[in-house]
Amino acid sequence: MEMPSGNASTRLIFSLGLHSAAIIAFQLALMQLLSIVQWHHFAYMIISVAMLGFGASGTLLALARERLLRHSEWLIPLLMTLSGLFIMVAFHITRMEIFRFDVYLLFVEQTQFPVLAANYLIYFIPFFTGALAIGLLFIKYARQIGTHYFSNLLGSGVGGVVVLLALGLLHPSHLPPLIGLLPVAAGLLSMPPQRRSLHLFAAGTALAVMVLLIGRPGHIPMSEYKDLARAMNLPDASVVHSKPAVHGFTQVVASPALRFAPALSLSFTGEVPVKKQVYVNGDFFGVIPTYQPGQTSHILDYTSQALPWAIGTPQRLLLLNAAEGAPVSHALTHNPAVLDAVIEHPGVIGLLQEEFAAVSGNLFLHEKVNLHAVQPRNFLAARATADYDLISMPQQEAFGGSVGINALEENYGMTLEAFQLMWSRLASDGMIAVSSWMDYPSRSSLKLLSTLVMTLESQGITSPEKHIAAVRSWGTITFVLKKSVITPQETAAIRQFCHEMFFDPVLLPDIRPEERQQYNSLEDTALFTYIDRIMASDKDFLDEYGFMIHPATDSKPYFGQFLKLSNFRQLSQVFGQEQIPFLELGYLIVVVTLVQSSILALLFIVLPLLKLRRGHRGKGGTLLYFAALGIGYMFVEIILIQRFVLYFGQPVFAISAVISTMLIASGCGSLWSEKLPARPRFPAGIALLVTLGLLAYTFFLTPFLKFSIASPVALKIFLGLLLIGIPSFFKGMLFPLGIRYLSDYDPGQIPWAWGINGSLSVISTSLAMLIAVEHGFQAVMGLGVLCYALAAASFASHRTFFRRAG
Amino acid sequence: MSRLARVHFKYEDHMGLNKAFCCILTGICLVMLAGARVGFPAANASSDPFQRERNRMVREQIQGRGVDDPATLNAMRRVPRHLYVPVSQRRFAYQDRPLPIGYGQTISQPFMVAYMTQIINPRPDHRVLEIGTGSGYQAAILAEIIDGVYTIEIVSELGQQARRKLEAQYDNVHVKIADGYHGWEEHAPFDAIVVTAASEYIPPPLIRQLREGGRMIIPVGSPYQMQQLMLVEKKEGGDITTRSLMPVRFVPFERAE
């Protein structure tokens, strides 16, 4: 083990921080870029494999430790520089024709697989070289690991925040060239003075590449199947506005062929208005509404979404997740007394209040429109009054099915608890309205109905047929849940509405089977049987049905997740294996990601064992301790993100706050750990302390956050810092204490420990998702606690796990 | 363009046979086809290397799933699907799946084309509007059966490619590059409208241009997952009804009771 001199040490620590900041910044920027090129699940799939560069670096270090250490003085700066250069160009290389792959074609063209593999490799290189530099540094200065790990975590925390800010300011394709400069600068800083001339040349090259890439206009060629790409094929289509944003790259497209009328009634004979359309990361988000003062009719009056206004004249409205504003302009034409619109995407509010204010008839500046840029669930819990006549939600699913692309999106606005909250915010005659595109096999509509029925059950209402009305157009179904009993007059009004619009009633207190298919018949009428069984509170049906249609809950907040893994074989037989990806793709991607990451991670853990098999004892202890830390840290991070997203109501803010606080607090813990001797009782004791603290969180964190959700923002931030920071401080001590213990016990195992920790950190993200979908977030938390207990156990009985080195 | 030209095109352009041989074959075909709108000579089948694949496609993928309209089946046997897919996809042309044709568009699975053709009850004297020409394959199938096929494509590049192919083969197909929303007012009313690309709404002009008693067929779903179709019928008196069809029917989750 070495000790760098004072100046060199400071330079190295600073370089490590810069370099670490770049690695995390590149990961986040790449996620945004690949989400634009393809879809975010695939971005996640590619990056998770690329991130295994951390595991691979550990393997290489274990296999060639001595040789690498011998040349580390110039190798570390060189690796940093290479990593920076690859960060700059990796994305641009994959955009070359030869490396362009399309996820949509992955299932129909086998030639796409080698191209996908090439993409994996290209993105793997910057992470591998970057991680190798970090790993080498950790091993070389294992006794100062606390300080170095602090720099690594602090850099990562700062890098994450800075790139989020940059995503709101710069074109996403310009970010990698800028980010790549950081490791190049880190390399230059850490290079010994006598070797700097060569490095200056490399730095000059990097600067030239950066200028070249930034100088090009921002353009991201995307899959031809993305909504935006298809819109751009229309005549005279042009992007009239584009704006980088943290929530996603926002673009507005105009074309005389772009119209908006989702599932329009076939009785409508007028002109369907041309609208500018908003795309976020290349996916359709909504349209720019065009409201005219005094307007009394709206195209949405000719859709099933108008059902609440057929039943009554609600005056106090709450529109949750009102997307781009079309529901707001629709509601306004009915002249309500109060209109609260909750819109989560602040960029869209900005669009309609500034650039497109005039086009939209100043809709978002209208005196009656109260805008709230917060998550719907948070608004309901913290700010909503309790006298709404109508609470309305956006249309669920997508036309023709969303192929489960939103399966893993945590949607706290559509959980059973959210509906119970909405119920509590209704006036005595108030209504909750929600629509869905019809899908086949039926999933979304059935899940919506089961949620409504269970909401009623939770309120002690055992006759749902008196409170739920539903109508079906040719493409959508709209449900209205009414707090009071639906009256005969209201029933008659619904029937009249259906007759005028060529819609069919599906649920009414006195529904007759023959009127369910008067205008829009179904060849497969099983839907009605399913609906009736749900209305009869037939729990067996929910269990038996081929898809997941139990209501989403706060512990499993995945409204868009319908795939039952246990039913996969049956689904394959019924629909054909090749159709499954187009039924429920989102969840499958996570499974595929987990499988491929696990195989690779296993490889990276097993390979070094070949080298370590002779002359090294206590490998079981190293494996157990560092695997437990890798998994436990990520599981707890995911749980904290999940809880605090709900608490703050601003996902981007919450995610960045949680990650940064965790990393910085852990960094401080790491720094402080240098004061402790590297004896087994310290990691054992601290891991036990973390276990007990997290165990308390399992039971008390959610109730506490629920209790304080309506507190002033400053207090909430303070509480958040404490609740995230304290356990993270102690968690941050565990990795460096373990490394320091190994540096005394058997330094040859340090690279292996680094590889295990890195590999398992990556796979635990998809593993946590899988566990959350199948068993809920509580299970993830439970396993996180168990991991820390195992880490404590591995050192508490270190005589068992860490036998004397041979 | 005469039927002679259509057959000639099939050989000369894409089979790589010499011209003299093609002319002889074409002459034989012309004689055998004279006076008959449907039916295709066995001699032709044996000389077209793709004919065997086409026959199998019709037998296994189309007849096997219940399409039995003779005119539709004959059209599916005759039209060389491989000429309507990109060269890179040609070897997959007769497989039971949709294929990419560029611009985010696909050529539908053969069965879906056949099913959509059958469901509109095509008759020779019909006038049919197609929205979404794409590669031109569906229009070619219709042109084998119907006198007047009007097809509109919004993507200019696709429309031009399809126009070249279709107008070289058929004199009863009219291609327009425009926004399908407006339909084709000058040739309305139509006995049937085939919309080949899924749409979130049905344009009111198309409903207006549909003859009373006419049928419109529309797919619902993503390009690679066209399991559902919707049949829109305009009744005498103006009422419009729809029927969701499941060409490939699944009865997945019924309990055995």
Q: pLDDT value at position A542? A: 93
DSSP state string for A743-757: HHH-GGGHHHHHHHH
Smallest Cα distance from B70 to chain A, Å: 24
On the question of pLDDT at B192 being above 90, the answer is yes
Same domain (yes/no): B30, B66: no
CB–CB of B184/B176 below 8 Å?
Answer: yes
Distance CA A637, CA A288 (A): 37
Q: pLDDT value at position B238? A: 78
Smallest Cα distance from B255 to chain A, Å: 9
Give the one of B154, B222, B242 whose C-beta lies nearest to A400's C-beta.
B222
Same domain (yes/no): B87, B14: no
In B, residues 85-124, which contact A (CB 8 Å cutoff)?
97-100, 102-104
Residue A578 lies in a domain: no
Same domain (yes/no): B55, B70: yes
Residue B250 lies in a domain: no
On the question of pLDDT at A670 being above 50, the answer is yes
Q: pLDDT value at position A399? A: 58
> What does the mean pLDDT of chain B come to?
79
* A679-682 CB contacts, 8 Å cutoff, 24+ apart: A679/A741, A680/A741, A680/A795, A680/A796, A680/A798, A680/A802, A681/A795, A682/A733, A682/A737
Catalytic residue among B46, B47, B88, B108: B108
On the question of pLDDT at B181 being above 60, the answer is yes
Same domain (yes/no): A111, A29: yes
Q: What is the count of residue pairs from A and B with beta carbons less than 8 Å apart?
A: 138
On the question of pLDDT at A723 being above 80, the answer is yes
Are B251 and A269 a contacting pair at CB < 8 A? no
Same domain (yes/no): B6, B76: no
Structure tokens at A519: 């205008």
Distance of alpha carbon A686 from the chain centroid: 31
Q: What is the pLDDT of residues A164-188, one digit of tens each?
A: 889 888 888 899 999 999 999 999 8
More confident residue, B63 or A200: B63
Same domain (yes/no): A341, A448: yes
On the question of pLDDT at A205 being above 90, the answer is no
Q: pLDDT value at position B123? A: 93
Backbone CA torsion sign across A553, A556, A561, A562: negative
Number of domains into which chain B is organized: 2
Residue B254 lies in a domain: no
Q: What is the pLDDT of residues A414-437, one digit of tens each?
A: 999 999 999 999 999 999 999 998
Q: Tell me if residue B135 is catalytic.
A: no
Range of the domain at A704: 615-806
On the question of pLDDT at A225 being above 70, the answer is yes
Domain final position from B48, B66, B83? B48
Q: Residue A541 sits in a domain of what CATH number?
A: 3.40.50.150
Q: Residue A631 sits in a domain of what CATH number?
A: 1.20.1250.20
Q: pLDDT value at position A313? A: 94
Residue A231 lies in a domain: no
Same domain (yes/no): A509, A644: no
Three-state SS at A469: strand
B226: pLDDT confidence band, cut at 50, 70 and 90? Answer: very low
CB–CB of B246/B227 below 8 Å?
Answer: yes
Residue A228 lies in a domain: no
Q: pLDDT value at position B11? A: 30
Residue A804 lies in a domain: yes
Same domain (yes/no): A552, A441: yes
More confident residue, B6 or B70: B70
Same domain (yes/no): B179, B132: yes
More confident residue, A628 or A621: A628
On the question of pLDDT at A524 being above 50, the answer is yes
Q: pLDDT value at position B100? A: 86
A5: pLDDT confidence band, cut at 50, 70 and 90? Answer: low
Question: Which phi and psi angles does A358 have, rounded to 5°?
Answer: -65, -45
A225, A104, A228, A283: which is closest to B105 by C-alpha? Answer: A225
Average pLDDT on B48-66 reads 90
Smallest Cα distance from B123 to chain A, Å: 25
Same domain (yes/no): A485, A552: yes
CB–CB of B137/B72 below 8 Å?
Answer: no
Same domain (yes/no): A491, A412: yes
Q: What is the pLDDT of residues B231-249, one digit of tens each?
A: 999 988 878 999 998 765 4
Domain final position from A561, A579, A600? A561
Residue A609 lies in a domain: no
> What does the mean pLDDT of chain A come to?
87
On the question of pLDDT at B25 being above 60, the answer is no
Average pLDDT on A697-714 reads 89
Structure tokens at B89: 């996809």
Residue B240 lies in a domain: yes
Which chain A residue shows the shortest CA-CA distance from B106?
Answer: A225
Maximum distance among all Cα pairs of chain A, rounded to whole angstroms: 91
- Residue A274 contacts B where some CB pair is shorter than 8 Å: no
Residue B251 lies in a domain: no
Q: pLDDT value at position A3? A: 52
Query: What is chain B's Cα-based Rg?
Result: 18
Domain final position from B48, B66, B85? B48
Distances from the Cα of A329 to the Cαs of A299, A334, A432, A472, A665, in angstroms? 10, 9, 19, 23, 46
Q: What is the pLDDT of residues A576-625, one digit of tens each?
A: 666 666 666 778 778 888 888 888 888 888 888 777 766 667 788 888 99
Q: Go through A246-260 and write b for each residue having 16 or more CB atoms within 10 A of its CB, e for each that does not.
A: bbbbbbbbbbebbbb
Same domain (yes/no): B59, B40: no
Distance CA A400, CA B199 (A): 9
Distance CA B143, CA B174 (A): 10
Same domain (yes/no): B6, B19: yes
Same domain (yes/no): B164, B186: yes
Structure tokens at A74: 């110039």
Give the one of A230, A264, A545 whose C-beta lies nearest to B201's C-beta.
A264
Are B251 and A272 a contacting pair at CB < 8 A? no
Residue B235 lies in a domain: yes
Q: How many residues does chain A have?
A: 806
On the question of pLDDT at A543 being above 60, the answer is yes
Number of domains into which chain A is organized: 3
Q: pLDDT value at position A579? A: 62
CB–CB of A674/A144 below 8 Å?
Answer: yes
Amino acid present at A132? L
Same domain (yes/no): B92, B159: yes
H-run or E-run covering A303: none
Same domain (yes/no): B33, B78: no
Same domain (yes/no): A366, A491: yes
Same domain (yes/no): B179, B96: yes
- Residue A578 contacts B where some CB pair is shorter than 8 Å: yes
Distance CA A402, CA A386 (A): 34
Give the one of A105, A438, A574 whose C-beta lies nearest to B252's C-beta.
A574
In A, residues 398-437, which contact B (CB 8 Å cutoff)?
399-401, 403
Are A234 and B154 a contacting pair at CB < 8 A? yes
Are B204 and A269 a contacting pair at CB < 8 A? yes
Average pLDDT on B164-174 reads 94
B47: pLDDT confidence band, cut at 50, 70 and 90? Answer: low
Residue B5 lies in a domain: yes
Q: What is the pLDDT of residues B89-108, one digit of tens each?
A: 888 899 988 888 888 888 88
On the question of pLDDT at B197 being above 90, the answer is no
Q: Residue B115 sits in a domain of what CATH number?
A: 3.40.50.150
Give the one of B155, B228, B242 whose C-beta lies nearest to A233's C-beta.
B155
Q: pLDDT value at position B145? A: 96
- Residue A528 contacts B where some CB pair is shorter than 8 Å: no
More confident residue, A676 or B128: B128
Residue A512 lies in a domain: yes
Average pLDDT on A191-199 reads 74
On the question of pLDDT at B10 being above 60, the answer is no
Distances from the Cα of A753 to the Cαs of A287, A309, A598, A749, in angstroms? 52, 63, 17, 6
Distance CA A744, CA A1 (A): 10
Contacts of B152 in chain A (CB under 8 A): none
**Test the B interface: residue of A111, A503, A524, A547 with most B CBs within 10 Å:** A524
Q: pLDDT value at position A501? A: 96
Q: pLDDT value at position A614? A: 65
Which chain A residue shows the shortest CA-CA distance from B98?
Answer: A108
**Test the B interface: residue of A436, A582, A583, A585 with most B CBs within 10 Å:** A582
Residue A274 lies in a domain: no
Residue B130 lies in a domain: yes
Q: What is the pLDDT of residues A105-121, one digit of tens each?
A: 776 677 788 888 899 89
A4: pLDDT confidence band, cut at 50, 70 and 90? Answer: low
Q: Which of A314-318, B49-53, B228-232 has the highest mean pLDDT?
A: A314-318
Domain final position from A222, A247, A273? A222
CB–CB of A369/A363 below 8 Å?
Answer: yes
Are B204 and A272 a contacting pair at CB < 8 A? yes
Residue A160 lies in a domain: yes
CB–CB of A687/A788 below 8 Å?
Answer: yes
On the question of pLDDT at A787 being above 70, the answer is yes
Burial class (CB in 10 A: 0-12, 13-18, 19+), A238: exposed
Same domain (yes/no): B83, B107: yes
A344: pLDDT confidence band, cut at 50, 70 and 90? Answer: confident
B228: pLDDT confidence band, cut at 50, 70 and 90? Answer: confident
Location of structure tokens 């909405």: A422
A70: pLDDT confidence band, cut at 50, 70 and 90? Answer: very high
Same domain (yes/no): A515, A628: no
In B, residues 151-210, which contact A (CB 8 Å cutoff)?
154-156, 178-179, 181, 198, 200-204, 207-208
Range of the domain at B16: 1-48
Domain final position from A536, A561, A586? A561
Q: pLDDT value at position B26? A: 41
Amino acid present at A569? R
Residue B256 lies in a domain: no
